[in-house]
Amino acid sequence: MPSFKSAWRTARGARPYQEDSVALFPGPSPIEAGLASAGRDCDLVTALADGMGGHAGGAAASRTVCMEFLAAFAAGDEAVPVRLGAGLDAANAAIERAVRAEPAMSGMGSTLIGAAFGASGLQWVSVGDSPLYLLRHGEIALLNEDHSLAPALDLMAATGKITVEQARSDPRRHMLRSAVTGDELDLVDLSKKPLALATGDVVLLASDGIHTLEESEILRVAAGYASDGPEAIADALLRAVEAARSPFQDNISVIVVAVE
């Protein structure tokens, strides 16, 4: 029977404000959703959201998305995938209500990764470009879909339509094809069945500020601190991002879950 140990960290990067939010239950979290439990068939539920809309709108959007997702997920008694979808729908509806109540907030929105950990493994729902990684046996794998334009640009580079450098420097690279904005969701990544987890696995949820690091560097840093636990991994990842000294560093938030 697996057990899960978790930690989270967040930093503003080079931005003057923070638009990311994270939430974990049970466990220390900056967001309290008033939950009594994580719900049936679930030992740990986590949410990470990267807001859009500036200092007020983005921060409010990401916080709302995390709170509404957690509350709706825990309130349900259906199978985990149904509750993941219900959590996303509740978060999207809450953004719609917020914009309707305050039209000046039009344009606010957020990405979302919602992940549930239990005896059967890991299940998730995601919208946007916040990555969900599995680190196992010296390898790293992106589990969820990237709903930005980056995959399309990378495909164009792979087929020779543009160069790799053009793909990486294209200003449209981080434009989102889907986000939690209160409108109909164009793209949703919902896991179809649990991903079995084993002792020693590390699951990483992150905002796209993590992309300052190559995946190989994320793996190297995490592996170097794996024996010290998720707190050490989370701290080391943020130090590595800071050490890169990107002048345009986005907000960076991580949730690290270690399987024991």
Q: Three-state SS for 127?
A: strand
Residue 55 confidence (pLDDT): 67
Residue 140 confidence (pLDDT): 98
Residue 155 confidence (pLDDT): 83
Q: Could you tell me which residues come within 8 angstroms of residue 32 by beta carbon, excluding any fewer than 6 positions away? A: none
Q: What angle (nearest 5°) sits at the alpha carbon of residue 57, between those of residues 51 and 60? A: 70
Q: Could you tell me which residues come within 8 angstroms of residue 110 by beta carbon, excluding any fewer than 6 positions away? A: 49, 50, 51, 52, 58, 61, 62, 64, 65, 91, 95, 128, 179, 180, 181
pTM for the predicted model, two decimal places: 0.93
Q: Three-state SS for 74?
A: helix
Domains of the chain and any CATH numbers: 4-129+142-197 (3.60.40.10)
Residue 256 confidence (pLDDT): 98
Which stretch of DSSP H or E encloses residue 208? none
User: How far is Cα 161 from Cα 153, in angstroms, rounded to an integer?
Assistant: 9
Per residue in 40-68, is it b (16+ CB within 10 Å) or e — as a string?
ebbbbbbbbbbbbbeeebbbbbbbbbbbb
Residue 165 confidence (pLDDT): 84
Residue 172 confidence (pLDDT): 83
The per-residue pLDDT string of the chain (260 residues; one tens digit each, 9 = 90 and over) reads 789 999 999 999 999 999 999 999 987 777 767 787 777 788 999 999 999 987 679 999 999 999 999 999 999 889 999 999 999 999 999 999 999 999 888 889 999 999 999 999 999 999 999 999 999 999 999 999 999 888 888 888 888 888 888 878 878 887 899 999 999 998 999 998 999 999 999 999 999 999 999 999 999 999 999 999 999 999 999 999 999 999 999 999 999 999 99
Map tokens 């069945």 to a residue: 193
Nearest to 81 by CA among 124, 126, 120: 124
User: Is the link from the previous residue into 247 a cis peptide, with omega within 30 of 0?
Assistant: no
Q: Could you tell me which residues come within 8 angstroms of residue 103 by beta carbon, excluding any fewer than 6 positions away? A: none
Backbone φ and ψ for 30, nearest 5 degrees, come out as -75, -10
For residue 76 the two structure tokens come to: 């349900």
User: How far is Cα 143 from Cα 230, in angstroms, rounded to an integer?
Assistant: 19
Q: What angle (nearest 5°) sits at the alpha carbon of residue 131, between those of residues 45 and 134? A: 70
